[in-house]
Structure 1
Amino acid sequence: MPTVMSKRLDGKTILITGASSGIGRSTAFEFARTSPQNLKLILTARRIDSLNQIAAEIVQEVGAGVRVLPVQLDVSNAQEVREFVSKLPAEFKEIDVLVNNAGLVKGVAKAPEIAEDDVEIMFKTNVTGLINMTQAILPSMLARNNGEGSGDIINIGSIAGREPYPGGSIYCATKAAVRSFTESLRKELIAKRIRVIGIDPGQVETEFSVVRFNGDKSKADAVYAGCEPLTPDDIAETIVFAAGRRENVIVADTLLFPNHQASATIMHRKL
């Protein structure tokens, strides 16, 4: 029998950015498994081959009740984002849930050694990209229900946006910006039926650290040594839970830690 959450998600169109791996990929599967009878997923990322593979795996697992549209999109490219909605097939244009997941971190440099290119790509992806995607999707959400609006905007932040740490100043600044934008948007939309949801993970093992260390897997592995970090599935379950609440319920602000973590920098590591 369908669950209550499955019924609430039935027929919705979900857009996930950064869906080719990690949290985005897990979120796509979690939505599909939760509401497999009638759901539309738009999966975006720069790696279209990975998206096509994920789309095929989802359909193979849950069946044709979930329709998946893979779209190559670099959220750091403002022009691509501006053209995104107009290029969607008609049946995918009315997006009910936007999951702003795309994000990255580059390096652990401290001022004044931080590379200009690293600063630019982190802000363009984590902040400007998220804002541009929101602005691209929000007008259609606002136009529903005779102007009362409808839809969910779920922004994936980080503990780094709450607690800055040495060697992460730019990444922390971008995630603090996401947190401020999320809270401001929620207040701006207070008279509308649009939910604005912020989810801040702590330590999660994804490609995040591999990207941070420019592909150096040994350095990335050291980040998680002696720890049992959260998995992308843990975050995906929280995202889908938030989207599956009754319309009048907003899971406004969520912070997720693994059991060994108490802050951005305080973690118990087993020797």
Structure 2
Amino acid sequence: MTSIDQARCVLVIGATSGIGRALALAISELPTRPTVIAAGRRQDRLKELAEKKLETLQIDVSADEATLKTTVDSLVTKYPNLDAVILASGIQYNYDFTKGVDLTKITKEINVNYLAVASLITMFLPHFLELSNEGRPSFIVPITSGLGLLPAPPVSNYSASKAALRSFTTSLRSQLQSTHINVVEIIPPLVESELHDEQGTTEMLSKIWMPLDEYTKTTMEGLRKGDTHVAAGTAALVLKRFADAGLNDSFPISVAK
């Protein structure tokens, strides 16, 4: 596999908080000093990243298909060397089906966590295939979750959306294996994040989650080694069980704890 060190221009979608922000900053500090485009909804967060010398792009992944396509086309025109996309956007809701659920939340969660990611990847593919025809490597990097392997009942729909993205990513990798496009799956465990603030579970989960700095260091090591699956902590342990049982594809796996 090819290392992220070879990337010249990296787009991180969902870079205004959490894992996405941490990875955008870490990649910008690689010895190769690639151009890093931090993309997200919150303009105040983007301004802060611009002050750290990152390029920025305001984008709402829940926008309609035409809007997303226009954004992707404009981006590729402005940054013809774009050769890596990390898709970190995500939302998470708690559900108790014995008490009824809000179907609009279920739809929104699937749209943001799966449909938008699959759509954006599809829109970027023609550009990456052109790079491949020139013999240049590129990277498509969806961020899934250990919950896509082993679901957590309180976040059942989030787990399902990440399982769908894992399946899509595996099939995409298989279809692109004869190209120079590297499909890398980042599989986080429970990580320090604002993702849990809305549910009011931050205080409880902060006692057991992996600190963001530690997680970022482990993930960057996997990306720089060229691992196809970059997992950490409990997610790495679950992934290894699948691999040991012959239930994962045959590519190298990062199993850092």
TM-score, normalization by structure 2: 0.82
The residue matched to 1:34 in structure 2 has which SS? coil
Larger Rg: 1
Equivalent residue number for residue 55 of structure 1? 50
Q: Using a 3 Å threshold, how does the CA distance of structure 1 residues 80 and 258 change in structure 2: closer, same or farther?
A: same
Among residues 194, 198, 201, which one is paired with 2:181 in the alignment? 194
Give % identity.
24
Gaps of 5+ in 2: 240-257
Deviations for 1:48-68, whole angstroms, at most 9, x for unmatched residues? 220111121x23xxxxxxxx3
Q: Are 1:155 and 2:131 an aligned pair?
A: no
Amino acid at match of 1:195: N
Amino acid at match of 1:14: V
Map 1:9-28 to 2 at 5 A: 9=6, 12-28=8-24
Q: Using a 3 Å threshold, how does the CA distance of structure 1 residues 194 and 241 change in structure 2: closer, same or farther?
A: farther
Superposition deviation, residue 18 in structure 1: 0.7
Indicate the larger mover: 180-189 or 165-174. Answer: 165-174
Among residues 100, 106, 120, which one is paired with 1:113 in the alignment? 100
The residue matched to 1:88 in structure 2 has which SS? helix
Indicate the larger mover: 14-23 or 39-48. Answer: 39-48
Superposition deviation, residue 120 in structure 1: 1.1
How many Å separate the matches in 1 of 2:83 and 2:6?
9
Amino acid at match of 2:187: D
Equivalent residue number for residue 28 of structure 2? 32
Q: Are 1:164 and 2:146 an aligned pair?
A: no
Amino acid at match of 2:62: S
Gaps of 5+ in 1: 60-67, 265-271
How many Å separate the matches in 2 of 1:81 and 1:234?
33
Superposition deviation, residue 107 in structure 1: 2.1
Among residues 74, 83, 89, which one is paired with 1:87 in the alignment? 74
How many Å separate the matches in 1 of 2:34 and 2:160?
35
Equivalent residue number for residue 176 of structure 1? 163
Give the CA RMSD over aligned residues.
Answer: 2.6
TM-score, normalization by structure 1: 0.78
How many Å separate the matches in 1 of 2:214 and 2:14?
17
Superposition deviation, residue 132 in structure 1: 1.3
How many Å separate the matches in 1 of 2:145 and 2:135?
30
Equivalent residue number for residue 74 of structure 1? 60
How many Å separate the matches in 2 of 1:33 and 1:184?
32
Among residues 216, 228, 238, which one is paired with 1:236 in the alignment? 216
Q: Using a 3 Å threshold, how does the CA distance of structure 1 residues 201 and 182 change in structure 2: closer, same or farther?
A: same
Deviations for 1:154-199, whole angstroms, at most 9, x for unmatched residues? 1111111001222221111100001001100000001101111112
The residue matched to 1:244 in structure 2 has which SS? helix
Q: Are 1:253 and 2:240 an aligned pair?
A: no
Q: Are 1:140 and 2:158 an aligned pair?
A: no
Amino acid at match of 1:223: L
Number of equivalenced pairs: 236
Amino acid at match of 1:71: L
